[in-house]
Chains A and B, each alone.
Chain A
Amino acid sequence: MLTIHTKLVEAMLAQANKDHPIESCGVIAGALGSNLPQRLIPMENAAHSEDFFQFDPQQQLQVWKEMELRGEEPIVIYHSHTSTQAYPSRTDIEYAAEPGAHYVIISTALLSGESVRSFRIVDDIVIEERIKIVKTYEPDLKQLKVA
């Protein structure tokens, strides 16, 4: 399951809608091992395409170095589909190389309606996961008291 702050989801949707019909992409970094997305970095789609995206390699190096310095890792890798549903394409699966990341796909296609879905992609196998959108990352105190 992907637990993600509502503001991050809103930011991904806003970016995807702004870039439509070009595919939008980016990464959300979080502390190593935390599994919590914190810092959203919109990336340049070097392909400028309606059916392909690629992080600009120079920008990617800088962003990856910065994550390393801050003790972060890519928690979410997101991109948009602008004419198909929010499900990984064959190319998405071929390129997926972060088994620990949540691959989020935002569809801005008119027919499928606006949607956001999350997947794990490991060894060419796609597993959809639930997205829990929260307003805060604080632990649920009520639950802790009951326990």
Chain B
Amino acid sequence: MSVKVSIPTILRSITNNQKLVEVVGVNVLEAINQMDQQYPGIKEKLIAEDQPHRFINIYVNDSDIRFCDGLQTNLKDGDALTILPAVAGG
């Protein structure tokens, strides 16, 4: 399943300044693992203790994966994976 991943500004230093990265994976975790092969270090920015990092929002198309199957959320050919830093604070 080939998907396009939209990379936020803060992580583009890892992706050679690329805004869109194309990867293959049957679910979000596989896509992230594959991305980490191409761009080592990106996985640890996205995942902590086998869960999406609380500082990061990951969406498949228009849905936050926390409200789907998390990192196991399935991907179809042509899906868009969007990564955004969560905006939050105290």
- Which residues on A are within 8 Å of B, measured CB to CB? 25, 27, 43, 47, 51-55, 57-58, 60-61, 64, 77, 79, 88-92, 94-100
Contact = CB atoms under 8 A, between A and B. Distances in A.
Given A61-B84, A77-B87, A97 B55 contact: yes
B85 interface: yes
A60 B64 CA distance: 10
Contacts of A52: 88-90
Contacts, number: 70
Given A52-B90, A53-B89, 9 more contacts: A54-B88, A61-B62, A77-B87, A90-B90, A92-B90, A95-B87, A95-B88, A97-B8, A97-B10
A92 B82 CA distance: 23
Contact of A47 (B59, B64, B88): B88
A138 B38 CA distance: 46
Interface residues of B, number: 18
A91 B86 contact: no
Pick the most buried of B57, B64, B82, B90: most chain A CB atoms within 10 A of its CB. Answer: B90
